[in-house]
Amino acid sequence: MVPVQYNLRNLVVRKATTVATALGLGLVVFIFSSVLMLSNGIKRTLGRSAAEDVAVVIRKGSDAELASGIEDASVNIVLASKELAEKDGAPKGVGEVVVVVLLDKLGTTGFSNVQVRGVADRSVAFRPTMKIVEGRAAAPGTDEVIVGRAIAGRFKGVKLGESFELKKNRPATVVGVFEDGGSSYESEVWADVNLVRTAFGREGGVSSVRVRLESPSKFDAFKASIESNRQLDLEAVRETTYYEKQSEGMANFINALGILIAVFFSVGAMIGAMITMHASIANRQREIGTLRALGFSKLSILGSFLIESVALALIGGAVGALASLLMGMVRFSMMNWATFSEVVFTFEPTPLIILSSLIVAGVMGLFGGFFPALRAARMSPILAMRG
C-alpha cells in the first residue's frame, strides 16, 4: 500500500487547487448541514411546546386550534373527565381561544400573521415552564397583553411598553415579555381570553382545551371517553403528536428544498474534485510510473488516489460543518402552514447532523476521485515514466 503521507504531502504542495476544491466541497456540506439543523430546529421548537401527560382536545375534522371551535358547555364536560388530575396546584385543564392578526414587520416591508392566544389566569399555572422575563403579567379583564421573546420587537408595536391594534379600534398594550424554553409559544401574543372573544366575535366558546392527565398511560381511556360521546363531536390527541403534525409539513419542505439545492451543488463540487484529481495525475505521471516500477500494484495506486480524494473532501467537509455551527446564532422566521402564523426558529445542530455531513463529504470525495484514480491505476509504468 502506498504510504498515506505521500497523499497528504501532495495536498500540501498543491495549495491553490486543494483550497479551491475544499471550499467547493465545504459549501455543499455547509448547505446540507444547515438544512438539517433548520429542520431539527423546527421540530424542536414545536416539540418543546409539548408534554407527555398533556392532551389537546379540538373539534373533529380540525387539523389545528385555529380551525377548531368548542362550546363552553362541552369544555365543562371535558374538564370533568375522571382521567384528569391537578398536579402541584396546576389546573386540570384550560380552554383557550386562538386567532391570528396581521401586523407590520420591522426591518422589512410587508406584513405577517401573528398568532394571538386568549388565555385565562390558570393558563400560566398550567404551563410551569413559562415565565415573565421583562415587565409583568397582564391584568385580567384589561386590554393588556404579554408577548413571546422570539417576536418581541420584530413587529410594529409588539415591544414592551408599546401598543398595536388587536382588532380595528381595539388597541392592546404590551406590558410583559415571556419565554418558554424556546418553544413555539414564544412566537405568540397572549391576551385575556374575554378580550379576544369580544374582539373577534368568539363569545361562548374556545378553540381548544388542553388537559393534564393523571399519567401518560391514561390517554387512551381519556381519548375513548371523549370521542365516544357523539354530542361533543370532539377528538383528543397527545400534545406531542399534535405538535409533530404541526412541524411535519414545514420540516419536510425545508428538507426537500435544501437537499435538492445541495444535490445540484454537490454535482458541481464532485466535478471540481474530479478535475483537480485529473490535473494532479497528469502532473504526476512520472511519480505514478516510479511507484509502479517499485512494485506497487494497480489496486494500491487506485486506493492511494481514492484516499487522497476522500481526504481532500473531508478537509472541505470539516470546514463546511464548522461554518454551519455559526448558524446556531441565527434566528429564522417562517410561516407555519398549519396555523398560518409566523414562527421564529433557530438552527439547532446535533452530533448526528455533523457526522452525517462529514459522511456526505466523504462520499462526494469517493465518487469525485474514482475515475481519476482508475486512470492512474491503469497507466503503463513505462509510458508514465517517459511522460
Helix 351-378 / helix 298-325 crossing angle, nearest 10 deg: 150
The count of other CB atoms within 10 Å of the CB of residue 326 is 11
Nearest to 377 by CA among 281, 307, 294: 281
For the full predicted model, state whether its pTM sits above 0.85. Answer: no
Show pLDDT as tens, one digit a residue, over the chain (387 residues).
566 676 677 777 777 777 888 888 888 899 889 988 888 888 888 777 778 889 999 999 888 898 899 999 999 999 988 898 876 666 789 999 999 999 998 877 778 889 999 998 888 888 888 999 999 999 988 999 999 999 998 899 999 999 999 888 889 999 999 999 888 899 999 999 999 999 998 888 999 999 999 989 999 999 999 999 888 899 999 998 888 888 777 777 777 878 888 888 888 778 877 887 777 777 777 777 777 777 778 788 788 878 888 888 899 999 999 999 999 888 877 777 667 677 888 888 999 999 999 999 998 888 888 888 888 777 776 665 665
Q: Quick check: 159 and 153 in contact, CB under 8 A?
A: yes
What are the grid coordinates assigned to 311, written together? 481526504
Cα distance between the two ends of the chain: 24
CB 23 within 8 A of CB 316: yes
Amino acid at 130: M
- What is the C-alpha separation between 144 and 133, in angstroms, rounded? 16
CA gap 206, 339 in Å, rounded: 16
